[in-house]
Amino acid sequence: MSITAFTRSVSDVAAESGVAPSAVRFYEQHGVITAIRTQGDQRRFDDSAACRIRVAKVAQRVGLTVREIAEIFAALPADPQPDDWGRVATTLIDEAESRTAALKAYLTDMRGGGRLCEIEV
């Protein structure tokens, strides 16, 4: 087992993930990432923090909210392994495809009837 190192500061994670420090604090507040605190009350993150944020940004683009993303990431242990990420990836992709499928189904039904838009919702 590897020892999880909580060595990254807010600005470290911000630089690694490409978002502003304020966003790093925001994502921590909302459970997308987690931190331990130093004696002086400063946040320290592990390697996975920047990763989680980068994945979160892409997931937001397919319509997932920060809350939904945090819920999905709740399945990730500290120091996540490939299998852990794999399960999360599957969940995210399934959700994205499900939403796209709903869009396609709606548009297809709309055309299918020739009624353009009188379909039942």
Partner DNA sequence: CTGAACCCTCAACATATGTTTAAGTCAAGC
Partner DNA sequence: GCTTGACTTAAACATATGTTGAGGGTTCAG
Binding site for a copy of itself (CB under 8 A): 18, 47-48, 50-51, 54-55, 58-64, 80-82, 85-86, 89, 92-93, 96-97, 99-100, 102-104, 106-108, 110-111, 114, 116-117, 121
Short-list 7, 4, 5, 9, CA closest to 42: 9
Enter the tokens of residue 8.
Answer: 């990254």
Nearer to a copy of itself, 25 or 54 (CB): 54
* Partner whose binding site includes residue 66, from DNA, a copy of itself, none (CB under 5 to 8 Å by kind): DNA
| Cβ atoms within 10 Å of 68's Cβ, excluding its own | 14
* Partner whose binding site includes residue 67, from a copy of itself, DNA, none (CB under 5 to 8 Å by kind): DNA
Short-list 83, 66, 63, 68, CA closest to 24: 66
DSSP type of residue 113: T
Nearer to DNA, 23 or 88 (CB): 23
Binding residues for DNA (CB under 7 A): 9-12, 19-23, 25-26, 30, 35, 38-43, 60, 65-67
Considering the complex, what minimum distance in angstroms separates the CB of residue 17 from a copy of itself?
8
Q: Cα-flanking dihedrals φ and ψ of residue 43, to 5°?
A: -75, 140
Asked if 48 contacts 80 with a C-beta cutoff of 8 angstroms, the reply is: yes
